[in-house]
Amino acid sequence: MSQFPSPVAPPPLNIPASDHVVKLSVIDTTTRMGKIPTTMFFESVIKGHEFFSGPAYSFLIEHESGAKVLFDMGVPQKWEDTAPSMVNLVRTSGVEVSVTKNVSDILIEHGIPLDSINSIIWSHHHWDHTGDPSLFPSTTTLTVGPGFKATMLPGYPTDPNSSILESAYKDRELVEISFEKSPEFRIGQFRAFDYFGDGSFYLLDSPGHAVGHICGLARTTTDTFVLLGGDVCHHAGELRPTKYLPLPDSIDPNPLPGKLAGDQECALGRFC
């Protein structure tokens, strides 16, 4: 007899049908971060995996109308010139950071004029996602999630303790997405916003990691999608086990061999 509950059916996604799609391009921002302590994301530490490294990506979304938006922009090349509170946090953490180009440079190298970018969408305000919007013309709007303005403004230097720069939104329209509508529109369990109004690209209200955190859901064919998660998840352990995908009775090979695993087996009445 199983020691664990049987899985339950997940809620339906209820994504409206649409023939409209977007072209999605992944941009390597040249951001590389190393010496990140794994304890920031999960415990217990696995020997030999005390630290990890990783990149940060940006996404170019191109609509059929010719509109272009960026979703996240990685770390700005001159990251040490960002808000002092954030710079000090990175330095004291011991995290190693390398960035050789701004997203604006990469776009120009690939023949995409900066004034063709209608908006920069921040999944959230953390330094490894914001890039440097000040390098874009004032016609490029900055789009953020709910609660951002009330919580994050003003930026540095008006607020010396702020973790964002005032220059990111100065002299440009700052658009805060509202998910309040009647009737409420949801995709799965997330409140959703139809960005272009034709079902080709959605923003999802996904608070938790940061104030105003949002995800992107890009329709790349009529029935396929790419989820732009921002920082909605850092480790597979955040996704499972769940009531939709519970633990199996046994895992082989055991990912955590040793006394702890032995005690767990004994508590379940196995191998004692």
**Is 116 in the same domain as 251?**
no
Q: Is residue 206 part of a domain?
A: yes
Q: How much is the mean pLDDT over the chain? A: 92
Beta strands in the chain (DSSP E): 22-37, 51-63, 68-71, 96-98, 119-121, 141-144, 174-176, 186-187, 190-194, 201-205, 214-221, 224-228
Domain count along the chain = 2
How does residue 259 score in pLDDT terms, banded at 50, 70 and 90?
low
| pLDDT recorded at residue 234 | 85
The string of pLDDT tens digits covering residues 199-257 is 999 999 999 999 999 999 999 999 999 999 999 998 888 888 889 988 887 778 877 66
Is 33 found in the same domain as 136? Answer: yes
State whether 232 and 258 are in the same domain.
no
Do 260 and 188 sit in the same domain of this protein? no
- Cα distance between residue 71 and residue 195, in whole Å: 12
For residue 176, give the CATH number of its domain. 3.60.15.10
Mean pLDDT of 180-188: 88
- Percent of all residues in the chain with a pLDDT value above 70, rounded to a whole number: 92
Residue pLDDT, tens place only, 28-81: 999 999 999 988 888 888 889 999 999 999 999 999 999 999 999 999 999 999
Domain containing 266 equals 240-272
Same domain, 80 and 29: yes
- Does 265 lie in the same domain as 157? no
Inside any domain, residue 4: no
Give alpha helix (H) positions in the chain.
Answer: 84-93, 103-109, 127-130, 148-152, 259-267
Q: How far apart are alpha carbons 25 and 60 in whole angstroms?
A: 5
Is there a single domain that holds both residue 83 and residue 211? yes
